[in-house]
């Protein structure tokens, strides 16, 4: 029974296009992630993007009267961290459709993927173990 290579190639191309379209959808959703958090008193509001990068910060006039500079800085940090935590969850949700069922979106976004803790903590080779730096040729052609 002859194999229909044209049909196989057409199916592979169709699969590729579906995957590419899905990737585009996920990338757009990821780029659109914006999360906002406010201080309990509502005087400070931070908005971050998908990687927790601050994209907007609102500080009311009353905040300058209520907080000293160091206190206000701490409020800004806390609110930004809260918004970043929300954005991380939203980014994980955006990425999840591309991943296998058993994959951890947070691990992928953190850059660890499916590596174990031991694999992530590999120590660099010592100088005497770094074979790239060793000269394998001996003077005078000796062996």
pLDDT tens readout for residues 9-42: 888 898 888 888 888 888 888 889 999 999 999 9
pLDDT tens readout for residues 53-92: 999 999 999 999 999 999 999 999 999 999 999 999 998 8
Q: How much is the average pLDDT of 99-127?
A: 73
Domain boundaries, the chain: 5-102
Give me the sheet containing 44-48, strands edge to edge.
35-38, 44-48, 54-59
In this model, does residue 2 exceed pLDDT 70? no
In a 3-state reduction of DSSP, which class is residue 44? strand
Give pLDDT, residue 10: 87
Q: Does domain 5-102 have CATH number 1.10.10.10?
A: no
List the one residue out of 52, 57, 51 whose CA is nearest residue 75: 57
Q: Is residue 49 within 8 Å of residue 56, measured between CB atoms?
A: no
């Amino acid at each position: 029974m002859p194999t229909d290579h044209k049909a196989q190639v057409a199916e592979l191309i169709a699969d590729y296009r579906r995957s590419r379209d899905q990737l585009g959808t996920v990338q757009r959703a990821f780029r659109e992630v914006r999360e906002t958090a406010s201080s309990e008193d509502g005087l400070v509001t931070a908005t971050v993007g998908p990687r927790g990068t601050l994209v907007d910060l609102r500080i009311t006039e009353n905040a300058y009267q209520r907080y000293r500079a160091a206190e206000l800085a701490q409020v800004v940090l806390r609110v930004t961290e809260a918004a970043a935590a929300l954005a991380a969850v939203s980014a994980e949700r955006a990425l999840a459709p591309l991943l296998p069922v058993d994959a951890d979106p947070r691990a992928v976004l953190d850059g660890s993927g499916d590596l174990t803790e031991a694999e992530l903590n590999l120590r660099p080779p010592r100088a005497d173990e770094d074979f790239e730096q060793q000269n394998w040729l001996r003077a005078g052609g000796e062996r």
